[in-house]
Each structure stands twice: as structure tokens, then as C-alpha cells.
Amino acid sequence: MERKMKVALIYGSTREGRFCDTVARWAAAEIARQGTFTLEVVDPAALALPGRHEQQAGAEVLALHERLARADAFIVVTPEYNHGYPAALKFLIDAIHTPWQARPVAFVSYGGISGGLRAVEQLRQVFAELHAVTIRDCVSFTNAWQQFDEAGEPREPERVRKAMDLLLTRLGWWAKALRDAREAIPYGT
């Protein structure tokens, strides 16, 4: 029997009172509902990452490295701050190197009028440099604060569920293809 693939759901925001919690909870529920992946949540606000990159990685960075190395795929839940992605997300990405390689990355974004898509386009470039494969399909919430009700559920559940199903289906395809490739031929560093 083939082992179930693991996806790391990465929170992009560490702000107090962040809306990321709402969007990420929805994404986690959709991942569980769809059933392709087991879920690993990575929340930089819950980690004791250092304030700057250090010459020798500390215990928290090494533990994060190990967690991400077990993932077959990644979903980044990112807001857009001032036409870009948050500094905490950049720090997390840059602190880890090889786990990104030859693995697919998908995005669930949120923000104002752009829905976080400007942040996503910048992140695609960063992940390309790290030898990750970003998938085209993403889920984006424009004016996100109006897209969810008081219980944290999308106001248009059918539309966003359809988009998330497509994202997860394609992410699953890439995760399996790249996992099989990494097992057959280790990715060169």
C-alpha cells in the first residue's frame, strides 16, 4: 500500500489579530475533506525562530527543517502587505534550504482588491530559486474580510471549494510525480 502524501500548510502571517487564522483553518478543513494528504501545520507565530539568520542553525530551525523535509508538498497561506508578502514568511523560507527542492508549492492568498496575488507572484520567483515547483492554480480571496462569515466559513463555499479541489488535485499529482522522481533519482544539490 502506498504511503499517504504529507502537505505542510504554512501560515504566512505572524501579526497579532491576523486574518490568516481564518483562511488557514478553512484550507486545513478542505485538505482534510479532500483526503489526498495528511496535514502538517507550520505556524511561524508558534515557533521560536531567531530574529536573524545565524551562521549555525539553532535547534528551532533544525527542527523546522526536519518537519518540512518530511513533506511531499507545501501550501502557503499568504496575505499581501504593501504589494508583497510578509517578512516572517521570507525569513521562514530562507532559513530552510533543501526541503523545498523538487517539491510542489501551492498558494492560498488573501488581501484587499488583489486578493494577495501580487504576493503570490513574488513568492513564485523565490521558490523557483530554491528549486521548488509552484503550481499555477491557487485560491485567492479578494477583500477577504468580506468573504468569510462570523463563524469563519466562506460566504460562497461552492466557488472556493471548487477552486481548492482543483488546487489539491493538481498539487497531489505534482507531489506524487516529484516524490517518485526523488525516490528513483536523488535530487542534486
CATH number at residue 36: 3.40.50.360
Q: How many domains does the chain have?
A: 1
- Greatest alpha-carbon pair distance for the chain in Å reads 48
Cβ–Cβ < 8 Å for 80, 118:
yes
CA 76/CA 22 separation, integer angstroms: 14
Q: In the structure, what pLDDT confidence band is assigned to residue 53 with cuts at 50, 70 and 90?
A: low
Cβ–Cβ < 8 Å for 93, 61:
no
Task: Please report how many Cα atoms fall inside a 13 Å half-sphere around the Cα of residue 23, on the Cβ side.
Answer: 33
Helix axes 59-69, 87-95, angle to 10 degrees: 80
For 83, which DSSP code? T
* pTM for this predicted structure: 0.95
Q: Is the pLDDT of residue 54 over 90?
A: no
106 within domain boundaries: yes
Q: Which domain holds residue 178?
A: 5-12+19-49+60-184
Backbone angles phi, psi at 133, to 5 degrees: -110, 115
Q: Is the pLDDT of residue 92 over 70?
A: yes
54 within domain boundaries: no
